Each structure stands twice: as C-alpha cells, then as structure tokens.
Amino acid sequence: MAAPMLQGLAEVLGASEPALRLIISILIGYPLALIFRYCLFQKDPFVIHLFHIVTGLCMAYFNFGVQLYHSLLCVVIQFLSLRLMGRTITAVCSSFIFQMAYLLLGYCYTATEHYDIKWTMPHCVLTLKLIGLAFDYYDGGKDPEQLSAEQRQSILPQVPSFVEVCGFSYFYGGFLVGPQFTMRSYQRLVAGELTDCPGQTPNSILPAVKRVCLGLLCLSIYTLGSPFFPDSYFLSDDFEAQAFWYRCFYILVWGKVTLYKYVSCWVITEGVCILSGLGYNGRDSRGVVQWDACANMKVWQFETTPLFTGTIASFNINTNAWVARHVFKRLKFLGNKMASQSAALFFLAIWHGLHSGYLLCFLMEFIIVTAERQAMSLVRDSPVLTQISQSPVLWLPLYLLQQLIHWLFMGYPLIPFCLFTWDKWFKVYSSVYFCGHVFFFTAMLIMPYLRRALVPRKKEKEKKEE
C-alpha cells in the first residue's frame, strides 16, 4: 500500500521514489529528536541506545529493505575487532582494510552508469565512522602528550559496548547522509552532557528550525532548477549544437544547481543533530552558544566566497575534517605535504566510488587549488598586484570576475563526478575544448615568469630563505 502511494507522490513531485524515501527519512529525524529531548534525555543509556538502534534500522529497512544486513554485518565485525584485537595497530589496519574493501566490493557489485540511491550510499558514511572508531580506540592507549588537542577530544579510554557501537552507527541524525561525528561525542549526547543548560534539555529548537528552513529552501531551488539543467543534456546533440559561450554558461548554472542537492540534505540533517543536542559546540569567546559541531556546510561562505579553497572549506566539512585527521595528518611520516595531500584526495576519490569520473574530479580539484594558491601568493608578494587588488574602485569588478571564473570552474570538475564514465565526461570536455585544463595548466606554466616580472628580487629572496 505504501509503495504505490510513494511512487505516485514521487511522480507528482518529479522525483524518484528512492529520493523521496530518503528525504522523508531525513525529515523524520526531527520528531525522533523531539522524542529523545522530551522522553529520553538523561534517562537510562541502554534505553537511549536501543531507541537509536531501532529507529536507525527502521530507516535502513524503509530505504533499502533487507540489504540493511550489509551495515549490520560491518558493525558486528568492527565491534569484534575492537574486543578481540584490542588497542593494536593490527586492529586499526585490519579495520581500515576490511571496511574499505567491503565498501569497494559493494560499489563493484551495484555500480551502474547513473547515480542510484542504494545501500552503498549510507554505507560510505558508516565506513568512515567505523574506521574512525578504530583509530580513536587505538589513540586512547597512547600517552596524551603524544596526541594533538583534536585527538585528545575524541579518544576512547575503554572499548565501547555492543549497544553503544550500534547506537553510534544507526543514530538517526547521521546514518543516511552524515555528518561524521566521534563515538566520544555520541557518548556525551547519551549522557546528557551536550547542552547549554546543564541538567536540562538544550535550547536548540530555534537554531534547528533555522537550519531546516534553510535546507528546505536549498531543496526547493534544486527541485525547481534541476529539470531545466539535467545531466543528460550534456550528452545530447542539442548541447553540442550550442555556441561555446552557452555550453560554458550551462556548466556554470548546472554546477550551482546540482550542488544544492547535497547542500539541502546536509543542512536539513544538521538541524536534526542540533535539535537532539549533538550539534552543541560550547561557547565562543563572547559567550555565545555554538551549534555547529555537526555543520557539514557553511552556507554563507559557500555562496559568497570567490575562492575555490573557500568553497572546499565550506562544503562537506565533517568528511573533509575526518580525512584530514585520519588520513592526511597520519601520513606525516612521509615527510612530504604534497604526497600526503595527494593520498588524501585519492582516498576521497575511491571512497566516493570506482568510476573514473571520481578520480578525475579530485585530480582537477588538486590542480585548481594548487594554481589558485600560486596565484594568491603572487598577488600577496607583488606590490603592484596587491595595490590593484586592494583598490576600492576595482574591488567590485574584480570580485565579479573572480566569481565568474570560480563558478564556471566549480562546475567543470563536477562533470566527471556526475557523469561517472570516461566516454561521457570526455565527450563533454571535448565539446568545451578542455577549457578548464587549458586554463589552469597555462596559469601554472606562466606563474613563475609572472613572479619574476612582478615580485621584487629582494622579497623573492626573503621568501626562499623562509
């Protein structure tokens, strides 16, 4: 009975049934968070864990049916790994290898040429959670002096119980689309410690309402805009027949609209975490309560920054922070920042999937960010360029030009990310003459010559000595 109704509603809304199920599941998090606030806050931890397990499993079954056994199997094996192997590097390595191998095999067996909402979607979120759990338990056995402040906040002094691991894994505010959070944060939530009013439920209703409203606005923009800018248009004869400027303009607007799909889900889910209290992040220097512990998006920065690095810093924040903490920083022994960054981006690419488009997307991100950093360094070191960039008269034209380049080439690497296979993204890139590759490779080639011409020798010498 429910399936035909959902299918009919999906057709009316112009969405797929799996997408509708996903949005319903995310929104159901709000009444579940209210139940937790008013019925379970500071109650028996076992009951709270059970509530999170049952609701999470119901969500999994509603979206993926009996395929929920994939997540359950990985959770059980991760718990057994912690119990049987203890705080050893063997436990960390085996957890990393098993969880990633299971995810990648899932991608192999379920891969299609289109983006499908299937069990691998929440499983990639779960994979990071369980690997992070192994790292945090391992760090708990180290001397605190050897750990960073970030690591000291998330270490586990003892192995969590089975119901804790299950509750942490299936928590309704993070099971489907994230965000990433640590077991320690989850334990503090269950203990009733994540509140701005000790002993009372957090005053987080208004911040949560603001996030859900913003998330629904982003979802509306995507719902209304995506029919006019579908991925399939890239592969049509009509797209190839358009003028070059129109093809570039389509990439710009399409990229902006497409990103709202992710923004909306993350912002709505963040509201669930805030309402439950998981989003509590203490107070700032002025004593103002912060609710951004589970923020996966800085929407204002995302909309206004003219920099690629600014957009990356505002997008999928918790996942990027997880990769920085557990991959990039732990590769410090390589002694090469570029090598660590390359490995982290490669990990992100295969974590998303095994299509060539993911690898190309993150390779382009690496090239774009490298070129932008070189350009910013040049402007900073050149007195002439610094003066031009700080001119009040030229500020607005320069900002608009930056935004034009920024959003055109934000959509550019998103093409292989969304089209997946090389024959599709190669066709689209060919139709725009690989303009993004040409632009950034040319910029990187001429930057050293511009530096010689525009940066005083004395300043260049000082920079090399530093």
Please state, in angstroms and rounded to a whole number, the distance separating the CA atoms of residues 317 and 296: 5
Tokens of 37: 């606030």
Tokens of 434: 């690989």
The answer to whether residue 316 is catalytic is: yes
Distances in whole angstroms, Cα of residue 120 to Cα of each of 109, 115, 130, 284, 408 = 10, 11, 15, 37, 30
Kindly give, in sequence order, each residue whose CB lies less than 8 Å from that of residue 143, ignoring residues fewer than 6 positions away: none
Please state, in angstroms and rounded to a whole number, the distance separating the CA atoms of residues 236 and 381: 46
Tokens of 35: 């139940």
* Concatenated DSSP letters of 75-119: HHHHHHHHHHH-S-HHHHHHHHHHHHHHHHHHHHHH--SS----T
Q: Which amino acid is at 209?
A: V
Q: Please, are residues 419 and 234 in contact by the beta-carbon 8 Å criterion?
A: yes
Residue in 354, 355, 271, 259 with CA at minimum distance from that of residue 312 = 259
Residue in 68, 123, 116 with CA at minimum distance from that of residue 100 = 123
Please state, in angstroms and rounded to a whole number, the distance separating the CA atoms of residues 105 and 4: 32
120-139 and 69-85 helices cross at what angle (nearest 10)?
A: 10
Q: What angle do CA 346, 127, 118 make, to 5 degrees?
A: 95
Residue in 165, 270, 299 with CA at minimum distance from that of residue 211 = 270
Backbone angles phi, psi at 238, to 5 degrees: -65, -40
User: Prior bond to 179 cis, omega within 30?
Assistant: yes
Tokens of 53: 């397990």
The answer to whether residue 296 is catalytic is: no
Residue of 52, 63, 123, 316 marked catalytic: 316
**Which secondary-structure segment (H or E) carries 24?**
helix 17-35
Kindly give, in sequence order, each residue whose CB lies less than 8 Å from that of residue 231, ignoring residues fewer than 6 positions away: 254, 258, 418, 419
Please state, in angstroms and rounded to a whole number, the distance separating the CA atoms of residues 123 and 139: 24
Enzyme catalytic residues:
316, 352
